[in-house]
Structure 1
Amino acid sequence: CSVACGSGIRQREVECVYRDQIVDASLCPESQKPKIQESCTLLACAFWDLLPWSSCSASCGSGVQRRMVQCVRGSNKLIVGERECKEEKPKTERTCERDPCPNAKLEIYWATGPWTECSQSCGNGTQRRIVVCHDHIRELGAEYCTQIEKPPNTRECNIRPCAQWSVGAWQPCPATCGIHHVQRRRVSCVPIGKKKEIEINSVLDELPEIDCDPAAQPEAVRNCGLKACPVEQKPVYGNWTTSGWTENMP
């Protein structure tokens, strides 16, 4: 049967046989062909039968409720072993809350929520969270927690310093002529508020370059823009001489 319990179907192979050999189905009368499948019914499936919850065990404050959970089978709910029920067994016990007991000392405290993200992506920002007065059941008005120190609902945050590019003066060109000479300058990533122009070899509170915008990074090397050096003239020590032209061959 196609199921382990309840109603399903079962199938079988049906073949045409002639002289103990399987032949084409067209050689057997179609009207006499046996059924390939039929319905089947097994024992009814077992299931969890849930009885109503009992009354709360306490008349005030916190208590417990219980219920009976049985594994049964069929419409008449015949009780069977729990392993016959394949699904997880439902809970048979749960807590229940009644009104606070008279003169009971309740635990009252400040409940805090998670911190928000920092209000700034760099530099000084602020994080916030919810802080409410609470007991073991519900939220209360702030006046119930006046005798308890309230946790802060804001705090400062600084993910990373805000940064900018700072540059030094260009170094002198190493020559007075030549088209391939370059000059250099210092380019640093520094906290905002530092001077944008710095002296060569000055000491700064430098930050990693990834803290500054790479698209705005100033150039640190440039061509001096000098003219080409003049070609040196070689000294002349002699003159050219020529022989006579050759005569025509006879």
Structure 2
Amino acid sequence: KIGCDGIIGSLAKEDRCGVCNGDGHSCKIVRGDFNHTKGMGYIEAVVIPAGARRIKVVEDKPSHSFLALKDSSKRSINSDWKIELPGEFELAGTTVRYVRRGLWEKMSAKGPTKTPLHLMVLLFHDQSYGIHYEYTVSLNKTQDRNSEGQREPEYLYIWTHSSWQDCTVQCGGGERRTVVSCIRIVNKTMEVVNDSYCQPENRPQPQVRLCNSHPCQYRWVTGEWGSCSVTCGKGLQQREVVCVYHLQNGSFINTRDLYCQGGKPSVLQGCEGRLCLTVWEASEWSKCSSSCGQGVRKRTVSCTNPQGLCDPLSQPTQEEFCEDYSKCYEWKTGDWSKCSSSCGKGLQSRVVQCMHKVTGRHGNDCPVTLRPPTYRPCHHGTCNEKINVNTITSPRLAALTYKCMGDQWTVYCRVIQEKNLCQDMRWYQRCCETCRDFYAKKILHKS
């Protein structure tokens, strides 16, 4: 470890004045606040003198503005309408650390500065704005001795009322204030210096006097400010400003602007819409009112702002047109046929088709799982086996004696086999090929 005296192992440290092993009494802390409510563009807050140490500038609260610094060599931060990214910058012979978190800013530097630093703020419209700054400067004692070997006297800095400002109005009663300046007294001479040399807590309030109390014949009349041009974000608002002539009976008449003295009050000013944080909340869309063709779907839209200040121009729609063709096709069925057998087990059939609801055209978009059955069994009582000659009593005999020329009803034969109707000779004759295979397997199984 090396101390500020350059010796290894030394515990020597610089005091707040930058003096190695100092007691901290060779400098003073200058503190100040800069508050502003009017103006746009760059406005100078304070000039930090050369030799300043432990510089710190902090915004009182987050604001739509920017801190700016500039030294005599034109090195700067956030000047000339160029906004820098946070980081470290070399200005006035020291490193300035610039911090920006959202809308809040801070600048700091260890110092000492070699040239004065101009602290400015960049405002975009009239607003309540404030910063706090502080820095340390050495006490102004010269160590040089004159020819007689004596030390020159210490400078004395005091506040004084140096002059009077102009009257605020040309007529009708205004006020004028004194200009409070910091002066340096040395060898019975006074010199106006920068305000940073005097203690800000000792600064006196300016003296006020009434002036130009004679009545005005011409004066400016301003109207109320209109609504902001936008409901969210930065916009403009207008007001009416006219020059009027005051008659003896107390009434006024409008006249030309050139008759009124003083600058014309502004007719435009910046404003900010307050509906940015209000949000519309919409529910999910309902199903389309039609499952085949064009319909309507709806949803619920509500304002989440507690005071109900949602912007009506940004309200989402609650109803819109929709189209759905997912259920245009459906299964259509015909009537059941007569039972295939007059006694015993039989089979009924019907036509099952997929058709469009509106046009009646055939299609393939019907759900297969919902297809109605084409066949169903039927029963007309037990057949008399002795009388019913159609019943095959010997599968082997039927398979060997009947001359099969192939299935006649190939569409139905699979169902005939599944429903165990091959033993009926009438069905056997129509589906002899399928039923013969069935009996062949049956005979093989018995053997």
With structure 2 as the length reference, what TM-score do the two structures score? 0.21
* Structure with the higher fraction of residues in helix conformation: 2
Q: Larger radius of gyration, structure 1 or 2?
A: 2
TM-score by length of 1: 0.31
Q: Which has the higher contact order (CA 8 A, sep 6+)?
A: 1
